[in-house]
């Protein structure tokens, strides 16, 4: 009988621990100012755009993908992601990277890209005949 209470208490503590972990993970905030990103050691979602003039680098031996991105005020930072380049990266209009800034660059755990919508209104030029 005593073992049932111990087991039940363990399950409750384990459940509360998992809930606390999930709650802290959901408090990741979006940051569009890289000065704030560089000033914190917490995990953030940094939003910006790829700096196409600086290109990108894929290191197949180390399985890393790196590029530069800039925020809405023009501040730049280098991003290194352990994994492959997203399929639609080159056509992306904006990039959201999740991770933390340390050792002089952003260590991304995840990359999301926003591409131009096929539903956006396009200007159509009519030709006269």
| Predicted confidence (pLDDT) at residue 129 exceeds the cutoff of 60 | no
Q: In the chain, where are the structural domains located? A: 29-114
Q: Where are the alpha helices (DSSP H) in 26-88?
A: 34-38
pTM listed for this prediction? 0.68
Q: Which residues of 9-44 are buried (b: 16+ CB within 10 A; e: fewer)?
A: eeeeeeeeeeeeeeeeeeeeeebeebeebbeeeebb
**Cβ-Cβ contacts under 8 Å for 34 (sequence gap 6 or more):** 46, 48, 70, 71, 75, 76, 77
Do the Cβ atoms of 49 and 112 come closer than 8 Å? no
Q: Which residues of 76-89 are buried (b: 16+ CB within 10 A; e: fewer)?
A: ebebbbeeebbeeb
Q: What is the pLDDT of residues 18-54, one digit of tens each?
A: 887 777 665 677 788 898 888 887 889 999 999 999 9
The third-level CATH classification (topology) of the domain covering 29-114 is OB fold (Dihydrolipoamide Acetyltransferase, E2P) (2.40.50)
Indicate the range of 6-15, 73-82, 117-126 predicted with least confidence: 117-126
Neighbouring CB atoms inside 10 A of 68's CB total 19
CA angle 16, 13, 21 (to 5 degrees): 35
Structure confidence at residue 19 (pLDDT) = 84
Residue 47: both structure tokens together? 């939003």
- pLDDT score of 115 more than 90: no
User: Among residues 86, 79, 71, 81, which one has the least CA distance to residue 35?
Assistant: 71
């Amino acid at each position: 009988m005593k073992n049932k209470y111990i087991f039940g208490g363990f399950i409750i503590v384990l459940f509360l621990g998992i809930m606390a972990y999930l709650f802290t993970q959901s408090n990741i905030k979006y940051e569009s100012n890289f000065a704030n990103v560089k000033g914190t050691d917490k995990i953030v979602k940094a939003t910006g755009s790829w700096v196409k003039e600086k290109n990108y680098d894929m290191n197949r031996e180390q399985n890393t993908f790196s590029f530069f991105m800039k925020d809405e005020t023009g501040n730049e930072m280098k991003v290194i992601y352990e994994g492959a380049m997203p399929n639609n990266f080159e056509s992306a209009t904006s990039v959201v990277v999740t991770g933390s800034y340390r050792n002089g660059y952003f260590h991304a755990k995840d990359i999301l890209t926003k591409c131009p919508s096929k539903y956006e209104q396009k200007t159509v030029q009519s030709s006269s005949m």
